[in-house]
């Protein structure tokens, strides 16, 4: 990532309310192409809400989300997908009764990828799903379903990819493998936002992190620096550790 | 050979041919006609329930609206029957459009709202204040177009068109995307599928099918009352037949109609006093042991059922 490259996504002062609760309370950050940005913070700090708002699941109640110079806040998910946004889900959501192959084919057929997407076979091989290609997604284990979520996203050729706790539940070997995959994807120019609780994993793959608390960012920079900042230590470990 | 061609050649064509020649060898014309009507309606339920997951408990609303669309065209405008059948289909679509807001609901809420909507249409049509248009509760008599043989032929044509559409759904990306929406609408939108548009298209297609069926039914029977063509039995039978065979397949609803409606008539002829009992037990058995329909006996073993 070159420091002066133009952000693909700019989130500024975004607000999302659920009744009287402010899940996002003026969140601002940006991400550039080819960068892996980590989104960290304690439970309930608004990480997943941020992903949901950017991917069109919720419309923001305030602020602006700009991608490629166009305001995309509140745009329908499928339109965002056609613009190059995609994501995975914390709890994987494949099409359970369809086969793995059909799961991918839907995204290939309807994703309107700007560049020719990889073939189903290539994706199946690359993400180790070839053996289960003709089984219904319901037969897969949790990790395979997570990978299938990722593959479905990749079939639409995203330029901005949001990964919501993709690494949770993976064993160490799988973690190393998926970390390499994510880095390789970033090297092709995809901007990737990673929400994760595994700090080692975040440290290993991200260029930069945003630490969130109560719906806004409290730190932006390297994770190694973040853990020295009293405010960050306070929200993660409680006030008495900050001193 | 592509599977869509196989499905057309080995399922749609034989079924259409059988129902086209049967009146020549079997005398009970009305029974054959009812079979065709239920084959159409069960596939109509298959389109909306099997491919999108919306259970249309008030499916008869489209059927009755189609029947009255046909009747009004014939009574008020003296149109030829074929044209009136096409209008019947369009009336079904128009009612479907009017009811699209129901698609915001899901599960049991949708089923109940759809049932209420069909009752509302019934009472609207049967309103004595509309006697000059619909003949209100007094029913219609369409002696001018009465022609059971032509009406039967039209029903077979509608059945063929419906089956071709289901074959298309089963073999196309469009049908695959619909099933994706049924499985998980959020994930479907992340696959780039316009969820609302897909649901509306399936909904209107299923309304069109029921409207056309209502039109040919009106043509065939020519004398009917609102309670006949808006009878909840049509919804229930169409749903039970489709579910008994297994939805989201081409064969399931066909098997369901042939077997269940066959048994229904068999019991009706031979042991009418046990009719409700046997039928009720059969349906209970289905729900308890084969909730995914007869085809699940095969799919459980990993066999592909078209």
Domain contains B191: yes
Domain contains B246: no
- Name the band, by pLDDT with cuts 50, 70 and 90, for residue A199: confident
Which chain A residues are within 8 Å of B301, Cβ to Cβ? none
Mean pLDDT of A137-147: 94
> Which of A54, A74, A78 would best serve as a mutation to test chain B binding (most B beta carbons within 10 A)?
A78
- Name the band, by pLDDT with cuts 50, 70 and 90, for residue A1: very low
Give the range of the structural domain holding residue B11, as residue numbers without chain letter. 3-233
Residue A99: CB partners within 8 Å, gap ≥ 6? Answer: A133, A134, A135, A136, A137
Domain contains B86: yes
Domain contains B42: yes
From CA B45, how far away is CA B57, in angstroms rounded?
9
Predicted local confidence at residue A139, as pLDDT: 93
- Name the band, by pLDDT with cuts 50, 70 and 90, for residue A241: low
Distances (CA, A) of B252 to A5, A176, A187, A238, B58: 57, 46, 49, 60, 21
Residue among B35, B64, B33 nearest B226 (CA): B64
Contact flag A93-B191 (C-beta cutoff 8 Å): no
Q: Are strands A191-195 and A160-164 parallel, antiparallel or unpaired?
A: parallel
Mark which residues 261-280 of B lie under 8 Å from A by CB.
none
Q: Tell me how many domains chain B contains.
A: 1
Domain contains B80: yes
Q: How far is CA B175 from the centre of its chain?
A: 18
Give chain A's end-to-end CA distance (angstroms, integer).
35
- Residue of chain B minimizing CA distance to A134: B302
From CA B220, how far away is CA B253, in angstroms rounded?
23
The per-residue pLDDT for range B240-289, each reduced to its tens digit, is 999 999 999 999 999 999 999 998 888 877 877 887 788 788 888 888 88
How close is the nearest chain B Cα to the Cα of A173, in Å?
28
Give me chain B's average pLDDT, please.
93
Residue A42: CB partners within 8 Å, gap ≥ 6? Answer: A213, A235, A236
The per-residue pLDDT for range B62-91, each reduced to its tens digit, is 999 999 999 999 999 999 999 999 999 999
Domain contains B258: no
| Residues of chain A in Cβ contact (below 8 Å) with chain B | 55-57, 76-78, 81-82, 86-87, 89, 93-98, 102-103, 105-107, 109-112, 149, 152-153, 155-156
> Which of A51, A82, A109 would best serve as a mutation to test chain B binding (most B beta carbons within 10 A)?
A109
Contact flag A82-B190 (C-beta cutoff 8 Å): no
Predicted local confidence at residue B255, as pLDDT: 94
Residue A27: CB partners within 8 Å, gap ≥ 6? Answer: A11, A13, A14, A15, A46, A50, A63, A212, A215, A216, A217
Mark which residues 172-201 of B lie under 8 Å from A by CB.
173, 176-177, 179-180, 183-184, 186-195
ipTM here? 0.91
Who has greater pLDDT, A182 or B143?
A182
Domain contains B287: no
Distances (CA, A) of B153 to B37, B68, B158, B165: 12, 20, 9, 19
């Amino acid at each position: 990532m070159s420091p002066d490259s133009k952000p693909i996504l700019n989130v500024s002062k975004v607000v999302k309310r659920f009744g009287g609760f402010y899940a996002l309370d003026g969140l601002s950050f940006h991400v550039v192409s080819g960068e892996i940005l980590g989104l960290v913070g304690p439970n309930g700090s608004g990480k997943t809400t941020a992903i949901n708002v950017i991917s069109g699941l919720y419309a923001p109640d305030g602020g602006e989300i700009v991608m490629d110079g166009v305001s995309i806040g509140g745009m329908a998910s499928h339109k965002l997908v056609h613009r190059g946004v995609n994501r995975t889900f914390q709890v994987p959501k494949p099409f359970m009764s369809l086969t793995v192959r059909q799961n991918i084919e839907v995204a290939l057929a309807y994703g309107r990828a700007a560049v020719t997407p990889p073939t189903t076979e290539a994706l199946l091989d690359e993400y180790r799903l070839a053996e289960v290609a003709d089984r219904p997604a319901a037969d897969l284990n949790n990790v395979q379903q997570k990978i299938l979520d990722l593959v479905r996203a990749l079939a639409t050729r995203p330029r901005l990819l949001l990964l919501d706790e993709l690494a949770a539940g993976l064993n160490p070997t799988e973690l190393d493998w998926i970390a390499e995959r994510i880095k390789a994807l970033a090297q092709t120019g995809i901007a990737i936002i990673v929400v994760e609780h595994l700090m080692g994993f975040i440290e290993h793959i991200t260029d930069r992190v945003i630490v969130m608390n109560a719906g806004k960012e409290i730190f932006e920079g390297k994770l190694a620096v973040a853990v020295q900042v009293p405010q960050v230590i306070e929200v993660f470990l409680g006030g008495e550790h900050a001193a | 050979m592509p599977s869509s061609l196989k499905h057309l050649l080995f399922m749609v064509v034989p079924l259409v041919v059988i129902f086209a020649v049967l009146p020549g060898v079997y005398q009970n014309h009305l029974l054959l006609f009812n079979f065709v009507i239920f084959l159409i309606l069960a596939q109509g339920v298959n389109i909306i329930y099997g491919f999108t997951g919306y259970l249309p408990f008030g499916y008869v609303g489209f059927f009755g609206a189609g029947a009255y669309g046909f009747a009004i065209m014939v009574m008020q405008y003296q149109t030829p029957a074929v044209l009136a059948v096409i209008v019947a289909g369009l009336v079904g679509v128009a009612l479907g459009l009017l009811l699209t807001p129901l698609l915001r609901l899901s599960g049991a809420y949708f089923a109940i709202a759809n049932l209420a909507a069909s009752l509302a249409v019934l009472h609207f049509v049967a309103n004595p204040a509309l006697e000059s248009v619909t003949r209100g509760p007094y029913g219609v008599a369409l002696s001018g177009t009465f022609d059971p043989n032509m009406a039967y032929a039209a029903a077979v044509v509608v059945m063929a068109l419906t089956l071709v559409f289901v074959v298309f759904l089963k073999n196309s990306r469009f049908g695959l995307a619909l099933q994706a929406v049924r499985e998980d609408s959020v994930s479907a939108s992340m696959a780039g599928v316009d969820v609302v548009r897909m649901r509306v298209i399936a909904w209107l297609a299923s309304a069109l099918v029921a409207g056309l069926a209502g039109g040919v039914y009106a043509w065939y029977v020519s004398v009917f009352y609102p309670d006949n063509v808006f009878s909840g039995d049509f919804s229930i039978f169409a749903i039970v037949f489709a579910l008994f065979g297994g939805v989201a397949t081409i064969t399931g609803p066909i098997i369901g109609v042939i077997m269940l409606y066959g048994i229904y008539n068999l019991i009706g002829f031979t042991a009418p006093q046990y009719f409700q009992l046997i039928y009720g037990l059969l349906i209970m058995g289905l729900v308890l042991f084969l909730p995914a329909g007869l085809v699940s006996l095969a799919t459980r073993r990993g066999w592909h059922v078209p």
